[in-house]
Structure 1
Amino acid sequence: MNKVFVTSLLILQSLAANAEVIDIDTTEFARLLDQRVPVIDVRTAPEWEESGIVAGSHLFTYFDRNGKSDPAAWLEKARTVAKPEEPVILICRSGNRTKAVSRFLSDQAGYARVYAVKGGIQAWAGAGRPLVPAAQAIATCRAKQHC
């Protein structure tokens, strides 16, 4: 085998071995927010508008209304928020999309620590945690073409 190929394979395996997806509840989510760990909300704009968002969240839709995604384009946006060696929190409506996107970041993009909010925004709101209207954040991200 080619020496460069073997070295690349070993590097990828070591990244995967160090990768970690951690399911967190709303209490841990609040603690990490206080520590300023960045949050990426992967829902769609209508979902953000319907329920509101966690203040300071970065609004980067992963799956569109038809269930389609562009992982490379999404990852480019995510890297503006957190580099692979930095922790990041993902949230969606119920936690299902967060699981898939967390695995993508961890297994394929080399992120070392990805937090996935169990129960998503529904659990956050159900626990009486604060949400803010999404209109301003959506307007900002659309202006930057970053939603």
Structure 2
Amino acid sequence: MLPTISPRRAFEMLKNGEARLVDIRETAEYAENFIPGARLVPLSIAKIYPLKDADAPDKPVIFFCRSGNRTDKASDLLRSLAGDAEAWQMEGGLSGWQKEGLPVQHEKAPFPLFRQIQIGAGALVLLGILGSYVWHPMYWLSAFVGAGLVFAGVTGFCGLGLLLARMPWNKK
């Protein structure tokens, strides 16, 4: 288990160049808000990502996530990724950092794709149910969307997700 460090102490160490701050949240979370100067290494790819800096390979590492739970659960993996460098987990994660009033950069990020799929699928099901009061065969729209969701869950491929990913608001 990684020892903990307060957000205020982590800020001081980062500001003085005494430590590296590593954000293990996923990219969609990072896109909404992040700590300036922290490096993003999503937990989902952390095993393959080198943490050593060429200019300071033994510089201590401070890991954090949104609330501290993911960091705590993955502390053994993160400890091994830090190698010989000293490593900590930041108390309270990004939420704790924000409670201390420390600097966070906010960005306007689009809805995550999964939420867009939920909104789109829910709207189509609702349209099918309400539309069936006007034109009875419209209920097939709800059945089609339900079947598509089951197919997506079983196969891991979502046609609605593919369609939404190509929408103009998801382009960089």
For normalisation by structure 1, the TM-score amounts to: 0.60
* Aligned-residue offset at 1:93: 0.5
Long gaps (5+) in structure 2: 109-172
1:25 aligns with 2:6: yes
Could you say which residue in structure 1 is the equivalent of 2:79? 106
Give, in whole Å, the separation in 1 of the partners of 2:22 and 2:46.
16
* Aligned-residue offset at 1:108: 6.5
Query: How many residue pairs get matched?
Result: 106
Q: Which structure dedicates a bigger proportion of its chain to helix?
A: 2
Counting only pairs closer than 5 Å after superposition, residues 1-147 of structure 1 correspond to structure 2 as: 21-36=2-17, 37-50=19-32, 52-63=33-44, 69=45, 71=47, 73-74=48-49, 76=50, 78-80=51-53, 83=57, 85-107=58-80, 110-133=83-106
**Greater CA radius of gyration, 1 or 2?**
2
AA aligned to 1:41 is D
* Aligned-residue offset at 1:70: 5.7
C-alpha spacing 1:114/1:127, structure 2 compared with 1 (3 Å)? same
- Root mean square deviation of aligned Cα: 2.5
Q: Is the 8 A contact 2:61 2:85 kept in 1?
A: no
Q: Which has the higher contact order (CA 8 A, sep 6+)?
A: 1
AA aligned to 1:121 is L
For normalisation by structure 2, the TM-score amounts to: 0.52
For 1:90, what is the secondary structure of its paired residue? strand
AA aligned to 1:22 is P
For 2:2, what is the secondary structure of its paired residue? strand
For 1:89, what is the secondary structure of its paired residue? strand
Give, in whole Å, the separation in 1 of the partners of 2:102 and 2:94.
9
